[in-house]
């Protein structure tokens, strides 16, 4: 009987450890900046990524509602509805463009000393040849 009690107690503790909330779940707005980008030039049969350090991609993630899985991405004065997917370690923002292009921004629960969160923005573009890119930066 005691073994069963201990087993149930261990299981309950394990479940509560996995159920911890992601602090990002409470955020309703983020400003994201990505100063470094990797762009793949796929003109040949072999991928050829090029690192660009001179780009400064900036946009807002606004009206974030984790419970409804919704948000808005705001850039260059335009706002678009996007989907939000939450995990224990990150928030993912999926933007579906009318042309079929997908953009994915992941904000990691990995804050820096100054309170920014590490983030990655991926663009899945095909204009002739595939032209994917991935930007690295921070959201706050």
pLDDT tens digits for 9-41? 445 444 444 456 688 989 999 999 999 999 987
- 129 found inside a domain: yes
Phi-psi region of 112 (alpha: psi -120 to 50; beta: other; left: phi over 0): beta
- 76 found inside a domain: yes
On whether the pTM is more than 0.85, the answer is: no
- 114 found inside a domain: yes
Q: What is the pLDDT of residues 96-126, one digit of tens each?
A: 988 889 999 999 998 999 999 999 999 998 8
- 16 found inside a domain: no
Residue showing tokens 């049969």: 45
- 81 found inside a domain: yes
Q: Which domain holds residue 55?
A: 22-139
- 13 found inside a domain: no
- Looking at the 3D structure of the chain, how many domains does it have? 1
First-to-final CA distance of the chain: 51
Torsion angles phi and psi, residue 4, rounded to 5: -65, -45
């Amino acid at each position: 009987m005691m073994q069963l009690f201990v087993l149930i107690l261990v299981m309950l503790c394990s479940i509560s450890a996995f159920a911890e909330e992601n602090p990002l779940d409470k955020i309703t707005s983020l400003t994201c900046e990505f100063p470094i980008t990797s762009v793949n030039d796929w003109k040949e049969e072999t991928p050829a990524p090029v690192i660009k350090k001179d780009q400064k991609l900036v946009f807002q993630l606004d009206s974030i509602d984790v419970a409804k899985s919704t948000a808005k991405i705001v850039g260059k004065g335009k706002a678009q509805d996007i989907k939000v997917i939450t995990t224990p370690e990150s928030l993912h923002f999926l933007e579906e463009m009318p042309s079929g292009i997908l953009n994915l921004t992941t904000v990691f629960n990995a804050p820096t000393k100054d309170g920014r969160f590490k983030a990655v923005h991926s663009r899945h573009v095909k204009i002739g040849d595939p032209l994917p890119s991935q930007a690295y930066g921070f959201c706050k």
